[in-house]
Each structure stands twice: as structure tokens, then as C-alpha cells.
Structure 1
Amino acid sequence: MLYLSELLIQHHELENFDELLALIDKVKKNERFFRIDVKPPFQDTPENWEDRLEAAFY
């Protein structure tokens, strides 16, 4: 299971929400489930951030 919090800890080089989406798209092939357990800490995180993260994973 891929946890958003673990992904953010492991990839502290991420600078914005779009980079996070690209990373999720890259690592999703190795994971079956995705748990959104924190809000991304980026200035450009949109209001519909949960929907966009789920769409990037699924």
C-alpha cells in the first residue's frame, strides 16, 4: 500500500503539486492501493487535491 505521507517523506525534493502528481503516476505501477493520509504541503495544492491525487493513482 502506498501512503501519501511516506511518499512525501521519501521524496522531500518535491517542490510543487504537479511534481507530486508525476511521482504518483510513476510509482503507481508497483502498488495496488493508495492511502491519502495527509494534505500535501505545497503552496499550489488545489482545493480538489484529493480527487486529483486519486485520479493520478487510478
Structure 2
Amino acid sequence: DLKMLYSAYAMEVLSDGHLNDDKLAALNQLRNIFGLAKYEAEAIITDVKARVFQTY
């Protein structure tokens, strides 16, 4: 499932606890490649941020 793959990539990108413009651009490119809607990608990133935040 592309959403699961996007989520795994987002987790890897955000695992250091920082989100910068380069990382955001990479996530947006992957969102476009996978054909995910903006709201779907935002929901996934919000979930990933919450999981990363819990680890810190």
C-alpha cells in the first residue's frame, strides 16, 4: 500500500525530530509520485510527527 510506504519514508525522514525545507520538498515529491491527496499526506505526516514526538 502506497500510504504505508509513504508513512515509512516519513518516519525515516522525521526520525531525528526536525523538519526542514529539503525534507518537506522530498515528502511532497513522493506524495505527487504516489498520487496521494494533500489531505492524505498531511494526515500521515501528522500521525508520524505524533509518534516521533512520543519517542523524545
Q: Normalising by structure 2, report the TM-score.
A: 0.37
Question: As a proportion of its length, which structure holds more helix?
Answer: 2
Q: Normalising by structure 1, report the TM-score.
A: 0.36
